[in-house]
Structure 1
């Protein structure tokens, strides 16, 4: 990492610096409570390491950066649609807010936590004036909030926090909090199904949209820790891992990297999409903590 020559207009508190990370501008946080890296491109958090812990977020060593690239790993901010959109024909997967540079609007401390606020304005390719705002609270716990606000035009929106969680071995996970829930199976053409009354254990390619908006605990058996996801303002929980069958076709991911992460994504998607009138807003968020 090396310092950036141009300074951000927002005053950065002690423990927060603007640096070049993988060739693009990023805010680097280093405090007694946690270390983190937040890229301005996409307002994309790629690392969060609470004191005394290993990184909670997974990041591909082959990820692309800059020039509208979608970083593979961390917490991609998804919107104003999820996947190909409800129509199935959107030109950019998971929307455009993660493919533009965001502006830092506020940086401060709240107790021991760093609070960073960013905005994406005048980037809506449709001309409708949709804007996006993100807030990160980084410390012993991590909180992320994403707000989409309609411009002059009414718009239907989906949103998600596409979090890649670092695990020791995805084949030895137990995901608690989904028991008995209905889900859509995207590996089977969005077929409807229901989770058994037991913790979810992944045994193959997984791409499920659960009708769950409550706490989920990812028990990393091999890693000896659990990651707890506490969503707010959401309607769905997406669970995704490509397994080797799909990972082999991803140029920005090593073929064997699929074992070291699982995506557990708080979302408003599919039939839970919301129509925002002019000036209306949708906010989703999540708080993560590590338990041992």
Structure 2
């Protein structure tokens, strides 16, 4: 039977743990950040740096940070990179269990401090559906009387064994911006890694795969035609906080997003649900 418990990290961060016949998982209330997901009998599907200190106020370097209500640097100097949702304490508003499938629901309260950045009346929820597959939904509702525009991403970190052996597939016919240059046409279906990679894809198909030495990770998206593919490589790894110099060898980010031309504008009363769904390739499925 599925067991849902609460706990507190030694540095003070609160979390919820799930143990079921289908998976183990842990999600922190700060950022509603899923930090661990292990399908039963399989390897972990999320990566976290061993250099992270799990201190309040810092997003955890790994798992799935929530970037909202903007992705990247804001045009206003001094505003937090990737928005403020990943550093705020979310409310746990409900749990459901059905046939060992656990769904956890979280709500982001908008504080007076947050309204400096976000003077709109909106509701933001994150739902995690935990089975052999991980499904994370970021749900926006515009409660205001005017349209609201936002960008967002589910900044997923994946364990890939060895970046030199990683092949990411499913990128054919898309275009991408990299280091503020482009757009460039993706001329092959596959992406290989031999340098820093920081690509923002648009008009991208809804499924990609990460072919690693330990198996193939399937990454699906819904209500998103954009995604971010990132590995910091050698020099940037040395500058990143809470990140070991050689961590770039073991991780890659492939992020479901609504960015650039895929930014979301919600009419009054409108709702949008960004979804990422992650699993290991099932036995018998074609690897490419």
Q: TM-score, normalization: structure 2?
A: 0.90
Output the aligned Cα RMSD.
Answer: 1.8
Change beyond 3 A, Cα 1:244–1:52: same
Equivalents in 1 of 2:219, 2:61: separation in Å?
20
Once the two structures are TM-superposed, the CA of residue 278 in structure 1 deviates from its matched residue by: 3.3
Once the two structures are TM-superposed, the CA of residue 127 in structure 1 deviates from its matched residue by: 3.3
Q: Out of 104, 110, 113, which is 1:122 matched to? A: 110
Q: Which residue of 2 aligns with 1:76?
A: 65
Structure 2, unpaired ranges of 5+ = 284-288
Once the two structures are TM-superposed, the CA of residue 148 in structure 1 deviates from its matched residue by: 2.0
Q: Which residue of 2 aligns with 1:104?
A: 92
Once the two structures are TM-superposed, the CA of residue 228 in structure 1 deviates from its matched residue by: 0.2
Q: Out of 173, 183, 186, which is 2:166 matched to? A: 173
Equivalents in 1 of 2:230, 2:10: separation in Å?
26
Residue 150 (structure 1) aligned with residue 142 (structure 2): yes
Change beyond 3 A, Cα 1:182–1:90: farther
Q: Which residue of 1 aligns with 2:54?
A: 65
Equivalents in 2 of 1:230, 1:90: separation in Å?
34
Over 6 Å off, 4+ runs: none
3-state SS of 1:246 partner: helix
Q: Which residue of 1 aligns with 2:277?
A: 287
Once the two structures are TM-superposed, the CA of residue 190 in structure 1 deviates from its matched residue by: 3.1
Q: Which residue of 2 aligns with 1:164?
A: 157
Once the two structures are TM-superposed, the CA of residue 264 in structure 1 deviates from its matched residue by: 0.4
3-state SS of 2:206 partner: coil
3-state SS of 1:106 partner: strand
3-state SS of 2:95 partner: strand
| CA contact 1:64–1:70 (8 Å) conserved in 2 | no
Q: Which residue of 2 aligns with 1:218?
A: 210
Once the two structures are TM-superposed, the CA of residue 76 in structure 1 deviates from its matched residue by: 0.7
Q: Which residue of 1 aligns with 2:186?
A: 195
Once the two structures are TM-superposed, the CA of residue 196 in structure 1 deviates from its matched residue by: 2.2
Residue 237 (structure 1) aligned with residue 230 (structure 2): no
What are the superposed Cα offsets for residues 130-156 of structure 1, whole Å, 9 maximum, x if unpaired?
Answer: 331010011100000001223435321
Structure 1, unpaired ranges of 5+ = 1-12
Equivalents in 2 of 1:271, 1:46: separation in Å?
29
For these two proteins, the number of residue pairs brought into alignment is 275
Equivalents in 2 of 1:84, 1:41: separation in Å?
21
| CA contact 1:231–1:266 (8 Å) conserved in 2 | yes
| CA contact 2:2–2:100 (8 Å) conserved in 1 | no
